[in-house]
Amino acid sequence: MNRFIHSACRVTLAAALGALLATAAHAHGYKIGTLEIEHPWSRTTPNGATVGAGYLVVDNEGAEDDTLVSATAEVAQRVEIHEMSVKDGVMTMRLLPDGAPIPAHGKLTLAPGGFHLMLIGLKAPLKEGEKIKGSLTFAKAGTVAVEFKVEGMKGPAPMDHDAHAAPAN
Ligand SMILES: [Cu+2]
């Protein structure tokens, strides 16, 4: 019994340490004006995929609203800002032509299932561990260069991208 408890403790400790190290290793961020951009990342894409996605968090420490109005990524012909939502049980995706709002003293979260960047016209599949050079442009703060880290599949299923991948015949 004692032995069981001890080994359980070790496992928990190892898991906690592992999570901590993983977080530290993955964290990267950028700052422009009053905005802090946390951990831009993207997902691996299968061979032949023409679209990918970009995710990040923007923290606004300022007293004025701002807007993420556009973005670029070297691997994509163009990048759009999209929002995914579920209405009446149906998943819908829409392009936000005016960008995504970042409230004063608030944050904008781009994550699977919600706001995201859509990388359109991929020149090559995205492989785990790659860094994609790109930029983010904000209405007030201006443009900042960022790198999106490509991470493997994990967390919620990437339905958002499959939903608007080119029609699969
Ligand atoms: Cu999208």
Q: Is residue 14 included in any domain, yes or no?
A: no
Q: Is residue 65 part of a domain?
A: yes
Residues of the chain with pLDDT under 70: 1-26, 154-169
| DSSP annotation string for 56-118 | EEEEE-SSS-EEEEEEEETTEEEEEEEEEEEETTEEEEEE-TT-EEE-TT-EEEE-TTSEEEE
Say how many Å lie between the CA of residue 132 and the centre of ligand 1. Answer: 18
Instruction: Please tell me the predicted confidence (pLDDT) of residue 1.
Output: 46
Is residue 52 situated within a structural domain?
Answer: yes
pLDDT on residue 167:
39
Residues, beta carbon < 5 Å, ion ligand 1: 82, 93, 118
Residue 129 — φ and ψ, nearest 5°?
95, -15
Residue at 80 is within a domain: yes
* Any domain includes 124: yes
pLDDT tens column, 141-158: 999 999 999 998 765 544
Q: Is residue 17 part of a domain?
A: no
- Domain with 88, as residue range(s), is 29-164
Residue 114 lies in a domain: yes
CATH number, domain containing residue 56? 2.60.40.1890
What's the confidence (pLDDT) of residue 8? 46
